[in-house]
Structure 1
């Protein structure tokens, strides 16, 4: 639709002309002609994405993104159309009384969240895309043409297509791109409007994502939020210790739901073997039922032993079903009972001694992020890249290597998980010994669709893998398919697939990847405790698209080494648009084989290197952990789908655009990383993301955020 000029009726115009010529004038006297009326400009347009009926549209005379009293306004009709007298930038305020009509499906849907769309002067379409153009212009000095070009380039369409009525786009591929971006934009706009405050600024933050040109994800290991950041000022930390905490520390209960008089012993002792100090199992008897500081300078409770963060503690169970049993429907009261480490699960450290604590103070600490999946590292690494669980078809076939590795679980009348089936020698109380199960295995029982899923550690089909090559493999590139630890190559869509399709560069950098790969094909002598490479921490190596023979080029492009590749890319400013980094074992902070101090120093040093990179000015770094490592956290876990989310974990958002010195309370999970990448690069939405958000809403919660709430694109970046 185009801007129209409205004239007076033709008869009036002719009469004016006659007067000017002297016609009808007695005596031939010439009178002063009456000036012709000035044409009145109007704007006829549409509010789209699909079409929004009953939306209030106004000319934004003061350009504040709000339909103010006195500004010319109207309401859209059944086709989302409007006509306004005047010219200028446009605002559409869409309330919950509005209706969204989809011309493709010919269906009408009530609007459930308030929206605000904007369009620059000269536009006749008001949409999420035109809103994004205005937001981008808000970060480039108000250059609308440049903003249109930026968005069009990112989407791979023309400027005209960005500004058009997407419902009338003839090219089906372009229409799909515009619709996907519009739908994502509407979600972000709804979130920004619901947050209140300065909506215009919030929209700018939510939509001006092109300022981020590099996303770096640093994925550490096995720490809950309270375990490391429970004392952080302003955060929802440990109740009773941190004054800004909310909620309470759950009294731990026994298998029969009775409150434990004290914590179970730390079975096998609290410290790992070979440490400078020893806290034995016997020394942990009768710890009070609550949280305790492991590195208390006055000594660990009644042991009289002091230990710092360089001392290794023993490992704690962190598996799929165990984590659900510990959360116990949101009560968080069975971490100690269902832990093979007993009372250690309630321990925490004084994180203020860490270097990363200072990074958190200078940037953003997210205190409401939950591990994407229940359980351990294997599943959460998979969830990080696909928001899904790995499949194992026909797991119970007679010829299947995993036919005896299917978990034994108890379910309710509706088939919902209740607990791992106790073993015949299971203790009656958690104070007696660690729990015993009939079969706590890696594979789920068959679901209603007939599929089995791998939820605890399995090994990749390609080297490096802890499963050695079969004797028949002369290449030494594959794992033995007959092993019960072998996972068949996966084929689900992952974030790498979507980035490839959009021609967005990306890589997974693994600490000690190159040296371990070389050893996997040679003597298979894998060094420990340094670097202690962890095979199941390399999620893309599980995918058929990285077969070392048929897809050797893809492996070389996307699966890289930290020391030989990532450090050079950081220094030279050649990091890909999306970079995932997994530290080697001794630097990843995993209980049992890595301490807090070494990993903390390593990650802080890496942050400093990234800040010195030529790419830093437009970089977003997300530092988080794969899962809680079996440690207790007091925050209530949102209820969603069968895979998670699980326990709360720390996350830091480090960027020149971060809301520096703040704590972000927005609800996130591991896959919020995927949400940000999806929004930034206008990718299709992975099914697992939609499944998770729908499940959260169905259970009375709200969708997960995408980290834009932690960013401020209106600030000046030097």
Structure 2
């Protein structure tokens, strides 16, 4: 997740005089940050619904189909997934419509442009062999994961997991070298049919460390293969989702550092076709999340807001917007050239980017169609019938992938390589502070991150507030609102949980492929759930949203609505757990991470963060004939459809059997 530094951060020697356009762009972001009278009364309980506490828990890198592709809802509920579309059968084998998920190899050899939807392509005969990548070869207490002994695992993560779950930290190593074909697949390794396959068949259960496929911005746009020529009534954006394997093997994350031949068959990265793997809940995979899905509510139309990886998607959870490169004082300016993305293929290669994030680049000036990679996406957006606004301020370079936040945990400015300068962009935290609604960001490992960052499991790029000047330059705000997950458990026990809580597990438990396992993320969530439900008064007024930051580059078959230049991206899992979301329901309103912000804003009667943030978008209007596609695009839901406040007091037995009645909403 965190960039590896490879060079010294190039600091501009002279700051150019900012143009009037750039100043205007900065003003747009800060327009809502003008000084407002601070409320003197705690408004944390002043809500329009019975929900007084929202807990947002964010894991890592799984798409909806990757987790729930074989899920079968009960009680007359419908779902859009691999199984319902006939792409697979309930036992995980290819279904009658398997070709709907067929993957293509393509040819992108024009060095003058990035090709988001190559015309020259044909289907794979079999998928490229999955690779072990960076998944751990063996257990080690000195260099986990996994741990060699239960005692060591218990010492590090015992407080965050139930005893039974800690054992998962000692199992699942590949037993193979890194970056080699994953022979755990046995005879199927070189004979995988061209489409999704059950990845958990490598072991007796899904408790295995697996390779992590590419999940970066321009790669994700290529994987989706969006073209209006592919459009249908159910998929008007024309995103075919058919280049996942090709992008993995042609460019991937640029991790092997070598150029490759410009032919269809090249497989020069160490990723293989990991992206097509899915887990099967019918075989016991994802047992706890399946239990929650059957008892509460899931969405099958919830999306990562940005194409690509952890950093930009995590930022969107706090800002409903993208961050941009500044001069360190909040003014937009041009980053060093080696930090600018250039996804044009190198001459003589098939899609090997000239400059990608693993060698430096992570910014794009998406206001200028002549910039590398930008034109292809802007042209596609302009071709859509509703012409979505790219939302790119003139002359502004936006962060597209993962760079370190501008601040260290102690509030000092981070001057290390691959770091986005301190940001002036407002977050939901500013709105909550102004309205005196309590909030905290609980990140596992925060305490050790502040004192010894290099040894901490803390995810710095995951905390959207760690980028922001207004928060990080005020030590009292940092102390009050940025805390460790140990504080989460004490706040739950002591009855001091804030109105809004963002919760992030550390690197060992976040479910990120290669460095974690999804069962460990389930265990992390399980302990929080048990703690909240042990306090009946708290439980009765709480909504818990369980999701991932983004899809991790895994395949998904769902519709994607382009909202602006940055995304949306593929669907990701969302489970909504509350006394008001019982019933095993599946909701279909189109939503993404910004919908979490919209829920908070609606529940506490707050306005949008800024005049340009995505929380200004309307709620979607979706027709029964096309239940996943907003007719008023671009539109994002506020997740109120996941709740039935009028029916909250019905018994679990009634709601679990599908007898919850109509979708009554709380009267406003």
Cα shift at 1:660: 2.0
Q: Deviations over 1:194-235 (max 9, x none)?
A: xxxxxxxxxxxxx98431100110011100011111111133
Q: Cα 1:499–1:394, aligned 2, differ >3 Å: closer, same or farther?
A: closer
Asked if residue 403 in structure 1 is aligned to residue 347 in structure 2, the reply is: no
Asked if residue 314 in structure 1 is aligned to residue 211 in structure 2, the reply is: yes
1:519 to 438, 452, 457: 452
Contact map agreement 2:408 2:414 (CA 8 A) in 1: no
Give the match's secondary structure for 2:586.
Answer: strand
Q: Cα 1:405–1:501, aligned 2, differ >3 Å: closer, same or farther?
A: same
| Residue aligning to 1:594 | 516
Q: Cα 1:693–1:512, aligned 2, differ >3 Å: closer, same or farther?
A: same
Q: Distance in 1 between matches of 2:418 and 2:581?
A: 42
Asked if residue 708 in structure 1 is aligned to residue 640 in structure 2, the reply is: yes
Contact map agreement 1:226 1:632 (CA 8 A) in 2: yes
Cα shift at 1:370: 0.8
Cα shift at 1:401: 6.5
| Residue aligning to 1:281 | 181
Cα shift at 1:260: 1.6
Larger radius of gyration: 1
Per the normalisation by structure 1, the TM-score is 0.60
Q: Distance in 2 between matches of 1:628 and 1:490?
A: 26
Asked if residue 349 in structure 1 is aligned to residue 279 in structure 2, the reply is: yes
2:500 to 578, 595, 599: 578
Asked if residue 372 in structure 1 is aligned to residue 305 in structure 2, the reply is: yes
Cα shift at 1:703: 2.1
Asked if residue 334 in structure 1 is aligned to residue 243 in structure 2, the reply is: yes
Q: Distance in 2 between matches of 1:635 and 1:215?
A: 27
Cα shift at 1:289: 0.5
State how many pairs are aligned. Answer: 464
Contact map agreement 1:641 1:692 (CA 8 A) in 2: no
Asked if residue 639 in structure 1 is aligned to residue 572 in structure 2, the reply is: no
Cα shift at 1:534: 2.0
| Residue aligning to 2:398 | 453
Cα shift at 1:685: 1.7
| Residue aligning to 1:262 | 126
Q: Distance in 2 between matches of 1:437 and 1:422?
A: 5
Contact map agreement 2:296 2:584 (CA 8 A) in 1: yes
Cα shift at 1:640: 2.1
Q: Distance in 2 between matches of 1:490 and 1:566?
A: 27
| Residue aligning to 1:162 | none
Q: Distance in 1 between matches of 2:450 and 2:308?
A: 27
Contact map agreement 1:331 1:636 (CA 8 A) in 2: no
Contact map agreement 1:270 1:281 (CA 8 A) in 2: no
Cα shift at 1:436: 2.2
Q: Distance in 1 between matches of 2:57 and 2:292?
A: 14
| Residue aligning to 1:237 | 81
Asked if residue 656 in structure 1 is aligned to residue 579 in structure 2, the reply is: yes
Q: Distance in 2 between matches of 1:219 and 1:225?
A: 14
Q: Distance in 2 between matches of 1:218 and 1:574?
A: 18
Segments of structure 1 that go 5 or more residues without pairing to the other structure are 1-172, 178-206, 301-305, 409-419, 428-434, 465-475
Give the match's secondary structure for 1:365.
Answer: strand
| Residue aligning to 2:459 | 534
Q: Deviations over 1:130-181 (max 9, x none)?
A: xxxxxxxxxxxxxxxxxxxxxxxxxxxxxxxxxxxxxxxxxxx99xx9xxxx
Q: Distance in 2 between matches of 1:615 and 1:325?
A: 45
Q: Cα 1:271–1:446, aligned 2, differ >3 Å: closer, same or farther?
A: closer
Contact map agreement 2:319 2:464 (CA 8 A) in 1: no
1:356-395 alignment, distance < 5 Å? 356-393=289-326
Per the normalisation by structure 2, the TM-score is 0.65
| Residue aligning to 2:532 | 610
Q: Deviations over 1:409-457 (max 9, x none)?
A: xxxxxxxxxxx21123534xxxxxxx52111121113624010011111
Q: Distance in 1 between matches of 2:561 and 2:96?
A: 15
Give the match's secondary structure for 2:490.
Answer: helix
| Residue aligning to 1:438 | 354
Give the match's secondary structure for 2:573.
Answer: strand
Cα shift at 1:403: 2.5
Asked if residue 212 in structure 1 is aligned to residue 63 in structure 2, the reply is: no
Q: Distance in 2 between matches of 1:573 and 1:588?
A: 26
Contact map agreement 2:131 2:211 (CA 8 A) in 1: no
Give the match's secondary structure for 2:105.
Answer: coil
Contact map agreement 1:247 1:634 (CA 8 A) in 2: no
Determine which structure has the larger strand proportion and give its number: 1
Asked if residue 295 in structure 1 is aligned to residue 200 in structure 2, the reply is: yes
| Residue aligning to 1:673 | 596
Contact map agreement 2:365 2:395 (CA 8 A) in 1: no
Cα shift at 1:236: 1.8
Q: Distance in 2 between matches of 1:375 and 1:460?
A: 17
Q: Distance in 2 between matches of 1:618 and 1:645?
A: 31
Contact map agreement 2:334 2:396 (CA 8 A) in 1: no
| Residue aligning to 2:64 | 225
Contact map agreement 2:406 2:467 (CA 8 A) in 1: yes
Give the match's secondary structure for 1:361.
Answer: helix
Q: CA RMSD in A?
A: 3.0
Q: Cα 1:713–1:231, aligned 2, differ >3 Å: closer, same or farther?
A: same
Q: Distance in 1 between matches of 2:96 and 2:57?
A: 28
Contact map agreement 1:640 1:699 (CA 8 A) in 2: no
Q: Distance in 2 between matches of 1:515 and 1:269?
A: 29
Q: Distance in 1 between matches of 2:640 and 2:190?
A: 46
Contact map agreement 1:378 1:537 (CA 8 A) in 2: yes
Q: Distance in 1 between matches of 2:327 and 2:634?
A: 36
Contact map agreement 2:245 2:273 (CA 8 A) in 1: yes
Q: Cα 1:370–1:480, aligned 2, differ >3 Å: closer, same or farther?
A: closer
Q: Distance in 1 between matches of 2:471 and 2:530?
A: 32
Contact map agreement 1:210 1:680 (CA 8 A) in 2: yes
Cα shift at 1:607: 1.2
Q: Deviations over 1:600-619 (max 9, x none)?
A: 11212211111123411111
Cα shift at 1:700: 5.9
Q: Cα 1:582–1:605, aligned 2, differ >3 Å: closer, same or farther?
A: same
Q: Cα 1:717–1:589, aligned 2, differ >3 Å: closer, same or farther?
A: same
Give the match's secondary structure for 1:641.
Answer: coil
